[in-house]
Structures are given as structure tokens and as C-alpha cells.
Structure 1
Amino acid sequence: MRPEDEDRIATQLAKVMAVACVRNTQLETLHAGLTPVSHTGDGSDVIVEDAAGRRIPWSEVSRINDDEMRALMREIVDRLYTFHLRIDDPGFRAEIDRWAAMTAKWDAPKPDPILSAIPSVTPERN
């Protein structure tokens, strides 16, 4: 397969997996709600006061607790697993193709620097 075809397929697959397996999850619930007003635009002027009276800068506030993170990761893993199990099912593929249309105007993906830094050849073990 030509490199440009591999890139096109990987781009479309990454985007549709993001929609099907990440975006439409509990992440939407976590995203819902009020966003604090920031006159600086970066949140540096926003302070959260908790029930113990601690004043916490917005940049240091955890916006998701451990239980929410655990539930979110379980849901994403289950969706990725199901996606891979069903990818050869024609009915599932037809639905995926419809979802792909909503990603047409998304930015093109780029290689992640952390995953890209993993060596492509595993060194021999002694």
C-alpha cells in the first residue's frame, strides 16, 4: 500500500474512533456545565474555593475525580474493544462511514511525540 493511502486510512480511522469511542462517552457529561468567566482568557484570574475554605487557582483544580476517571477509561476501553470486534461487520461499517462525515472538517491528526518516541524495533533481551 502506498504511504499516502496508509496516511489517509489512518487519518479517517483515528477520527472516527475518536467520535465513536471517546467523544460520545461520559466525557460529554464531564464537559457539560458552567465554565468560569476569565477576563485574562487563560483562567489565571479564576480561583475556586472548596468546602474546607482552600482557595485553589483554576489551573491547579482537578476537574475529574478518580472514580470519574476510572469509569471514563472503562467506557473508552470497552468501546475500543467493541469497535475492533465489529469493524468487519457491514452494518457497523455503514454506521461508521456516516460518523466519519462529521469529522470531515476536523484538523488532520499528527503523530503523537510520546508514542512516536517508542523504538520501532525492540532490542534483543539478554
Structure 2
Amino acid sequence: MKPEDKERIAASLAKIMAVMCVRNTRLEAVHAGVVPVTHNGDYSDVFVLDAEGRKIAWAEVSHIDDDAMRDLMRQIVNRLYTFQMSCDDPDFMSLIDRWMTVAGKWDEPELDAKFLGAIKFGADLGPA
């Protein structure tokens, strides 16, 4: 396979799996709600006041608890598994074609060097 074909196929697959398997999951609950106003542009001027009276900087506040993260990851893994197990179903393939009209409008993906480095050295694959 030519390198440009490999890149095109990988980019399309990454986008379609993201739109079909990650979008519209429990991730939407994390995204939902009121977005705080920042005058500095970096949220360094935004704080959360919790029930104990602690003033916590926005950058230090967890926006998802462990249970919600576990539920989100289960849902995404199940969708990715379902996607892979359904790839030989003609009806599913027609759904992929329809969803590709959405995914096709997204930016082209890029290789994530930090991810590759973490895998190479066995490091934690936590947030970027």
C-alpha cells in the first residue's frame, strides 16, 4: 500500500470512529452546562467555590469524577468494539458513509508524538 493511501485511510477511519464512537456519549455531559466567563482568556481568573468553602482555581477543578470517567470509558470501548465487529455488515457500512459527511468536515488528524513517545517508554497515557 502506498504511504499516501495508508494516511488517507487512517485519517478517514480515525475521524469516522471519533464521530460515531466518541461524540454523543457521556462526554456530552462533561461538555454541557454553563461556560464560565474569563476576562484573561486563560481562565486563571475563574474559581469554583465548593460546599466546604474552598476556592479552587478553574484549572485545578476536576470536571469529571471517577465514576463518570469509568462510565464514559466503558461506553467508548463498547462503541469501538461494536464498530469493529460491525464493519463487515453492509447496513453498517451505509451508516458509515452517511456519518462520513459529518466527519469529512473535520480537520485532518496529525500524528501525536507525545502519545507515541509514551507508548515507546511505557509511560502513563493520561491527558495531554
- TM norm structure 2: 0.88
* Structure 2, gaps ≥5 residues long: 121-128
Runs of 4+ in 1 over 4 A off after TM superposition: none
Paired AA for residue 106 in structure 1: W
Alignment-derived partner of residue 111 in structure 2: 111
Distance of 1:90 and 1:103 partners within structure 2:
19
Structure 1 residue 105 displacement after superposition = 2.2
Q: Give 2:27's aligned residue.
A: 27
Distance 2:32 2:97 in 1: 27
Distance in 2 between the 1:27 and 1:45 partners?
A: 25
Structure-1 separation of matches of 2:105 and 2:56: 37
Q: Secondary structure at the match of 2:22?
A: helix
- Structure (1 or 2) with the larger CA radius of gyration: 1
Taking only aligned residues, the RMSD between alpha carbons, in angstroms, comes to 1.1
Structure 2 CA distance for aligned equivalents of residues 81 and 42 of structure 1: 37
Q: What are the equivalent positions in structure 2 for 1:69-80 lying under 5 Å apart?
A: 69-80=69-80
| C-alpha deviation, 1:97, in angstroms | 1.0
The alpha carbon displacement at 1:112 in A equals 1.5
SS in 2 for 1:48: strand
Match of 2:59 in 1: 59
CA distance in 2, matches of 1:77, 1:2: 30
Deviation at 1:34, TM superposition (A): 0.4
Identity of aligned residues (%): 59
Distance 1:38 1:15, change over 3 A: same
- CA distance, structure 2, for counterparts of residue 84 and residue 112 of structure 1: 22
Distance 2:35 2:114 in 1: 30
Q: Following TM superposition, by how much is the alpha carbon of 1:59 offset from its aligned partner in structure 2, in angstroms?
A: 0.5
How many pairs align? Answer: 119
Which structure 2 residues correspond to residues 1-126 of structure 1 after superposition, within 5 A? 1-117=1-117, 118-119=119-120
Partner SS for 1:102: helix
Q: Which residue type is aligned with residue 10 of structure 2?
A: A
